Amino acid sequence: MILINILLIFIYYFFTNDLWILNPKTDLMIQMLPEEFFMGMAKNIMLLFFIYLAILQVLGYIYIKKGKIIYGRAIKKKIKAYSIKIIIIEY
């Protein structure tokens, strides 16, 4: 119910005419395409959205983990280089 109210408020502010209101008795789009079509399209859009979101999350996780490994190796190399320099200076 809340979503319907939000949708109606959005439509009220962004559309200045009543062309968005479809009448099943007179509008061909509603007569040709049943309600199941629109529900199926909405489900497909939501499914694809969540699939893409999951793919982006996995790629982001891999990118972060890879960045930490590379950054960790860089720190280890610097520490080894500094320890060699310190040893050389001490002798």
Q: 7 or 56: which carries more pLDDT confidence?
A: 56
Q: Domain coordinates of the chain in residue numbers?
A: 2-90
Q: How far is residue 86's CA from residue 91's CA, in Å, rounded to a whole number?
A: 9
Q: Where are the alpha helices (DSSP H) in 1-91?
A: 2-14, 28-32, 35-90
Query: Does pLDDT of 76 surpass 60?
Result: no
Average pLDDT, the chain: 77
pLDDT, one tens digit per residue, over 6-35 is 888 888 888 888 777 788 888 888 889 888
> What pLDDT band is residue 57 in, cutting at 50, 70 and 90?
very high
Q: How far is CA 12 from the centre of its chain?
A: 28
Q: How far is residue 47's CA from residue 39's CA, in Å, rounded to a whole number?
A: 12
> What pLDDT band is residue 53 in, cutting at 50, 70 and 90?
very high
